[in-house]
Amino acid sequence: MTKIKYQPVIGLEIHVELNTKAKMFCHCLASHFQAKPNQNVCPVCLGLPGAMPYPNKLALYKTLVIARLLNCQINPASSFERKHYFYPDLPKGYQLTQYIKPLGYNGYLQIEDIKYPIRRVHQEEDTAKLKHQIVNGQKLSLVDFNRSGVPLVEIVTEPAFSSARQAVVFLKTLQKLLRFHQVSDCDMEKGSMRLEANVSVKKASDAKLPDYKVELKNINSFKFTAEAIDYEIKRQIKLLEKSKAIPQQTRGYDPKLKRTFPQRQKEEAHDYKYLLEPDIPPIHLPKSWLEETKNLTPANQLLQEWINKGWPESVVKILFTHFDHLSWWRKLEEQIIKKQIDRKKLGHFLLKNKSRYYLKPASQLVQDFLAGQHVVDDSKLLTQTIDQIIKDNPQAVEDFLAGKQQALYFLLGRLRYKIGNVDAPKVIKMIKDRLTKLKTSSNSLT
Ligand code: ADP
Ligand code: MG
Ligand code: ZN
């Protein structure tokens, strides 16, 4: 009997917290990593009765940017719905989200020659955070509302991945892209990027998707995501080989035991009873926003453009990490062209001195670079200065005479400090000749 071939099916749901200053529906500060518990709260994000939510414009704009970067169709008119469920981290009893009309839909992210399809990109709000602690010997669950109402974007892919490796390459690319465009920090450890991987397995010959999926939740690194998916694929194949049904489930991952474990049976979508939020009028994205975001250059394309101009790849990839840096690079490029500077040499000089020059006035960088490039070659000046440093550094001279070649480099350093850049091999030879002469003349004296 031939063995049945199985094919994994993986779909991703990614939540990213936007890096806006304010929360999604109130003016409270959104940053919650260093705040004291329940410091940034108000009636809106505490879900007190009668509080009125008002959407954060910048958050909507950044969500539009994400949708554009992922090549989505855009819903210029959309709305917010209440997604009902009960949990202590959700004081209102519902989360505001875009269910009916996501801001973006039917997009894709291209990696090399594969276009991974994106089902939707929508705006929602984060929940509060629970802390399970022992206080005065009592086991308690504490609620910190600082995170409640932080702008969140959910990105849902189609079940289009067939291996853990593929899924992780996608996630890493997405993280880079969103960081580059400064919409989110995408920090997995801090939780500003959170992943759910849905995994099922089908017979390779089946055209249809399996009628179940297992959702892997609360995994906070790419490495563990890959491990969890791989484990899950093996587990499911084993069950299928025994002709056992696989229940629809949410599972967590234990990195120590390197295996997934059941958390709960999944709610069906209709349990949430989505209802239109009556306190937020319909959202209409301004025409100007739609225009502005139409031709966003994705990060990889932009980096390639710069590499094609002749910048060293390592320099571009290490330094050019945010879209906002673009105007700085453009200014530098102007000077490079005007002064006919070698981009390779300047690039490495910049990388070596990045804290001094990167994103600082480009003219200073260019000036210092050119000064460094200029080689002092006046032989009279060189001879005079060499005599001077020999006089000023008797210890180094003694070291050289005792056979320590290192001393030459010390003297070269002193010389450079005095008169600037010089042709090192040539000057080393000059110093050596001078010292050798000194030696023979002092020998002849004794
Ligand atoms: P739900 O309504 O339960 O949220 P969706 O159909 O909206 O389910 O899909 C949620 C996520 O699960 C998406 O990322 C999607 O790609 C993925 N998914 C859907 N069906 C499967 C499947 N059979 N196997 C793996 N992932 C799947
Ligand atoms: Mg889900
Ligand atoms: Zn608030």
Is the separation of the CB atoms in 197 and 219 below 8 Å? yes
Ligand 1 pocket check for 13: Cβ under 6 Å: yes
Who's near 223: CB < 8 A, 6+ residues apart? none
11 lines ligand 1 (CB under 6 A): yes
Rounded mean pLDDT of the chain?
92
Judge whether residue 350 has pLDDT over 60: yes
Is the shortest distance between the CB of 209 and ligand 1 below 6 Å? yes
Residue of 14 and 321 predicted with greater confidence: 14
Is any ligand 1 atom within 6 A of the Cβ of residue 75? no
Residue nearest to atom 8 of ligand 1 (CA): 269
Q: Count how many residues are written for the chain.
A: 446
Q: pLDDT value at position 373? A: 80
**What value does the mean pLDDT take over residues 113-118?**
95
Ligand of minimum distance to the alpha carbon of 269: 1
The arithmetic mean of pLDDT across residues 242-249, rounded, is 92
Per cent of the chain over pLDDT 90 is 77
Residue 13 pLDDT greater than 50, yes or no: yes
Cα(355) to ligand 3 centroid in Å equals 37
Domain residue limits, the chain: 6-287, 297-373, 379-445
Question: Rounded distance, CA 266 to CA 108, Å?
Answer: 27
Tell me 22's DSSP state: B
Class of domain 379-445: mainly alpha
Ligand 1 atom closest to the CA of 199, numbered from 1: 25
**Number of Cβ within a 10 Å radius of residue 371:** 10
Indicate which ligand has the atom closest to the C-alpha of 159: 1
Lowest mean pLDDT among 46-50, 55-59, 178-182, 421-425: 421-425
Strands (E), 136-228: 138-144, 151-157, 193-203, 214-219
- Residue nearest atom 19 of ligand 1, based on CA coordinates: 159
Q: Which residue has the higher pLDDT, 92 or 417?
A: 92
pTM of the model: 0.79
Among the atoms of ligand 1, which is closest to the Cα of residue 12? 14
Return the structure tokens found at 112: 């090399």
Average pLDDT over residues 249-256: 95
Q: Is 157 in the pocket of ligand 1 (CB under 6 A)?
A: yes
Q: State the pLDDT at residue 421.
A: 78
pLDDT of the residue at 268 = 55
User: Does any ligand 1 atom lie closer than 6 A to the CB of residue 275?
Assistant: no
Is the Cβ atom of 8 under 6 angstroms away from ligand 1? no
Looking at residue 136, the DSSP 8-state letter turns out to be T
Give the dihedral of Cα atoms 406, 411, 414, 416; nearest 10 deg. -90
Between the CA of 9 and the centroid of ligand 1 the distance, in Å, is 10
Q: How far is CA 74 from CA 54, 106, 116, in A?
A: 22, 9, 18
CB atoms closer than 10 angstroms to residue 81: 23
What ligand has the least distance to the C-alpha of 47?
Answer: 3
pLDDT at 395 (0 to 100): 94
- Find the range with the poorest average confidence among 151-165, 233-247, 320-334: 320-334
Residue 292 CA, ligand 1 centroid: distance in Å: 32
C-beta 12 within 6 A of ligand 1: yes
Ligand 1 atom with the shortest distance to the CA of 158: 16
CB of 97 closer than 6 A to ligand 1? no
User: Residue 319 in 3-state DSSP?
Assistant: helix
User: Is there an atom of ligand 1 within 6 Å of 55 CB?
Assistant: no
Residue 202 CA: nearest ligand 1 atom is 23
Closest Cα to atom 22 of ligand 1:
213
Mean pLDDT of 24-49: 95
Ligand 1 atom closest to the Cα of residue 200 is 24
pLDDT tops 60 at residue 269: no
Q: Does residue 266 carry a pLDDT above 60?
A: no
> Other CB atoms closer than 10 Å to residue 407's CB: what's the count?
20
Query: Which residue did the predictor score with more confidence, 436 or 164?
Result: 164
The bridge status of strand 283-284 relative to strand 138-144 is: unpaired
Compute the distance between CA of residue 414 and CA of residue 392 in angstroms, rounded to an integer. Answer: 10
* Residues, Cβ < 5 Å to ion ligand 3: 26, 28, 42, 44-45
* Ligand 1 atom index nearest CA of 212: 23
Residue 446 has pLDDT above 50, yes or no: no
> Containing H/E element for 254?
strand 249-254
Gap between the Cα atoms of 77 and 74, Å rounded: 9
pLDDT of amino acid 106:
98
Q: Which atom of ligand 1 is nearest to the CA of 159?
A: 16
Cβ of 385 less than 6 Å from ligand 1: no
User: Mean pLDDT, to the nearest integer, of 156-183?
Assistant: 96
159 lines ligand 1 (CB under 6 A): yes
**SS3 at position 411:** helix
CB 156 less than 6 A from any atom of ligand 1: yes
DSSP assignment string, 337-394: HHHT--HHHHHHHHHHTHHHHTTS-HHHHHHHHHHHH-----HHHHHHHHHHHHHH-H
Helix and strand totals (H; E) in the chain: 15, 16
Q: At 45, phi and psi to the nearest 5?
A: -85, -10
Q: Tell me: the pLDDT tens digits for 405-419?
A: 999 999 998 998 888
